[in-house]
């Protein structure tokens, strides 16, 4: 018949690729998204605070793109005092101790 051995015609078992699991980038993406949103809607105070917290968690866990997390932290941290001052002025003027005494 043929001179081929039986092992030559048996299919090879499927190989499993051993890829390293990439650290999750979802927290870094949310941090930069909320950092951008804190520019527009920072009056809703949890938005910049959430951006800072998620960015710090993403950096602590190790992310593939640490620049995203840092960008979210910087955007949120830079606009947080601005919006906190705006809220403080609104509350101060609403309570009656505002600019009407001048």
What pLDDT does residue 92 have?
A: 84
Asked whether 80 and 42 are in contact (CB, 8 A), the reply is yes
Residue span of the structural domain in which 70 resides: 24-95
User: Cβ of 22: how many Cβ atoms within 10 Å?
Assistant: 8
pLDDT at 89 over 80: yes
Domain membership flag for residue 60: yes
102 or 55, greater pLDDT: 55
Domain membership flag for residue 14: no
34 or 16, greater pLDDT: 34
pLDDT at 63 over 70: yes
Domain membership flag for residue 48: yes
Q: What is the number of domains present in the chain?
A: 1
43 or 93, greater pLDDT: 93
Does this model's pTM top 0.75?
A: no
Domain membership flag for residue 72: yes
Domain membership flag for residue 57: yes
Helix (H) or strand (E) holding 90: helix 66-94
């Amino acid at each position: 018949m043929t001179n081929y051995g039986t092992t030559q015609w048996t299919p090879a078992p499927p190989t499993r690729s051993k890829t390293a699991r990439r650290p999750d980038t979802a927290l870094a993406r949310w941090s930069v998204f909320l950092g951008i949103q804190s520019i527009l809607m920072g009056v809703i105070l949890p938005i910049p605070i959430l951006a800072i917290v998620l960015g710090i968690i993403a950096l602590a866990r190790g992310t593939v793109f640490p620049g995203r997390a840092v960008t979210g932290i910087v955007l949120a941290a830079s606009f947080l005092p601005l919006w906190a001052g705006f809220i403080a002025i609104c509350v101060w003027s609403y309570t009656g101790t505002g600019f009407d005494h001048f």
